[in-house]
Amino acid sequence: METKQPLWSETFKVTSLLVNPMGRLGLYGLLNLLQETSWIHAEHLGFGVSSMEEHGLYWVVTRQHLKVHSWANYGDKLTIQTWIRAPEGSFTNREFKVFDESGKEVAQCTSTFIAIDKTTKKLLAAHELQSMESFTLNESTGLVAEKITAQGDYETLAQFQVRNSDLDINQHVNNTKYAQWVLDAIPYQFHKTLRLKSYAVNFLAETFLGDTVRIERDCHTIDVSKASHGVSTYRGLRISDEKVLFTSQLEWERKS
């Protein structure tokens, strides 16, 4: 019987498929690497996509907080470590640390997940899936995925229609796509002059094929064209019913 490993590592090379126009690993690329590592580890532990499907369940990310100290360049190698902390009620907490080739820690991330019954849409407490005590760790990155309010005055930046390529295996919009929409809504000149320090997101409702999503920015956000650093707040609404689908915050600083 295979021994379950509570601490899992995957090493990735930053290829041309992962870099942004500045030749560095971008937010969307890094989030996909974190997701891939999580997927592989969950399969190893016995509650990945295939096992959940057998029981009529699926995982949903509810919140995420990523902090990046330095961004990798094309050709660099990154090692991602991940582990699960002891579940809290219905929520499962997954932690990540990212290291460069020298072993320096360059990023941390924390995510919360819930298991949902495909038929009833009810939440299933994590401890009901299987006993997790043998492969959880008490260590924390120190990051907290906090609530991001959707209230306030917002201005419209862009809108996107959900396409086939936006969907994950559960026929919902892949969680990394929300970050991509926010990045695409930000004027390109700011991508060239600003460096992202952290990304936080709250997923509030599922998004499906055919939905049109409007991306809005908090009107009280610091003007990125003038400030040297700050935090920008965004939200995504489904146009058909004006339901808020997600809220997000990006912390940034101007490149030196």
For the chain (length 256 residues), average pLDDT per consecutive 10?
88 96 94 96 87 83 97 98 86 95 98 88 70 81 94 94 92 94 93 93 95 94 69 96 97 87
Structural domains for the chain? 8-135 (3.10.129.10), 154-254 (3.10.129.10)
- Predicted confidence at residue 36, as pLDDT, reads 96
Q: Yes or no: say if 164 and 210 are a contact pair by the CB < 8 Å rule.
A: no
Model pLDDT, residue 236: 97
pTM, two decimal places: 0.93
